[in-house]
Amino acid sequence: MIGVHRTSKRTPGRAASSRGSRRVSENGRRHHRREPPGRETVHAIVDADLNVSTRESSCGGPRTETLKPGPAIGWSEASVVVQITLVGERQARPGHEFIYRGPQPECGPCKVRRACLNQDLGRRYRITRVRDVAHPCLLNEERARVVEVEPVAPDCSLSARADVEGAVLAYEKIVCANAACPNYRLCHPIGIGPGTRIRVVEVGPELDCPLGYSLVSAKVDYGD
């Protein structure tokens, strides 16, 4: 008896399905790939203009995710995150530093008080850029200029047991009333109050304390 070898007919489109297909849409590209059994298959259509990804899942319906935009040419974090406030025109110059003391009664009816009163109470700030925009100010009876600022903590003294660079801690005030001491400014930094969280950037030399405290000077940043 002569055996007959029967060949099965190929199902149309199966070979193309196993290899995967690629279709190009107007807004982006759709990619298909085979996944192991039990794994969710996801096809993504990315819209480069809207930064939105519409995902079609084999385990459910479509879902939409917002994608993080990629960095543009010349992009930097510092150029994106900017703090804005207003200061008097006589103080509006790059490098000028000030302590934010909070709102005053004259600030109540001001239309731009929300932009002006957005700093942390008691902290020191430095002007980095002056913008060509000004508004009338009821507090100093002159025009207030829009400026860009950054928080800048002053140098201070720390206990020698806390002299660890990179450490974040709550500042402890030095109990001393000797204003003639050469270390008085470091032990009573303007812009850092008791309990203020600071980050130690650089530990300096030891300080000669007349009261016998074991202290070092330090460069710090605000810790939050």
* pLDDT given at position 47: 34
* pLDDT given at position 50: 31
Specify the pTM.
0.61
* pLDDT given at position 81: 76
Please give the full DSSP string across 38-100, using - where no structure is assigned: TSPPEEEEEETTTTEEEEEETTSSEEEEEPPPPPPTT--HHHH--EEEEEETTT-STT-EEE-
Tens-binned pLDDT, residue by residue, of the chain (224 aa): 444 444 444 444 444 444 444 444 444 444 444 544 443 333 333 333 333 333 443 444 433 333 344 444 444 444 457 899 999 999 999 999 999 999 999 999 999 999 899 999 999 999 999 999 999 998 888 899 999 999 999 999 999 888 789 999 999 988 898 999 999 999 999 999 999 999 999 999 999 999 999 999 999 999 87
Number of H helices, E strands in the chain: 4, 13
* pLDDT given at position 136: 92
Question: What distance in Å separates the CA atoms of residue 62 and residue 28, rounded to the nearest whole number?
Answer: 16
CB 145 within 8 A of CB 87: yes
* pLDDT given at position 84: 93
Q: State the distance between the two ends of the chain, measured CA to CA, in whole angstroms.
A: 89
Question: What distance in Å separates the CA atoms of residue 137 and residue 113, rounded to the nearest whole number?
Answer: 10
* pLDDT given at position 60: 44
Please give the full DSSP string across 137-184, using - where no structure is assigned: ETTTTEEEEEEEEEE-PPPEEEEGGG--TT-EEE--------TTSTTH
